[in-house]
Amino acid sequence: MTTKNPSPKLQSGTDPNADKFAFTSENYRWVLIGLGFIVVGFLLMAGGGSNDPDVFSEGIFSFQRLTLAPLLVLTGYVIEIYAIMKKTKD
């Protein structure tokens, strides 16, 4: 006595979406762009110290460190969210 599988999706090799990935190459491209923004933002925030601990450096209050770098990091995170949420065209 043979029993048939009632659901064709449970049979091996019949699910058409079984070999597809969740992300396409375009998603990965956006992920890399977002990571680039984040890395550049953190690199711009780095530094500003002084070799002599008794000397105060005004460089830590520059536009680059206080405004530009955090905006780049925030933009990178927004791009990452977009890259994850972007649907494929299929």
Domain contains 28: yes
pLDDT tens figures, 13-71: 566 666 677 888 899 999 999 999 999 999 999 876 777 778 887 878 889 999 999 99
Cα distance between residue 33 and residue 80, in whole Å: 8
The C-alpha angle 33, 38, 39, rounded to 5 degrees, equals 95
Number of domains the chain contains: 1
CA atoms within 13 A on the CB side of 61: 3
For the entire predicted model, the pTM comes to: 0.72
Is 1 within the bounds of a domain?
no
In a domain, 42, yes or no: yes
Query: Is 55 a domain residue?
Result: yes
**Domain carrying residue 56:** 21-85
Q: Kindly state whether residue 64 falls inside one of the protein's structural domains.
A: yes
Q: Give domain status of residue 31, yes or no.
A: yes
Q: Has residue 11 been placed in a domain?
A: no
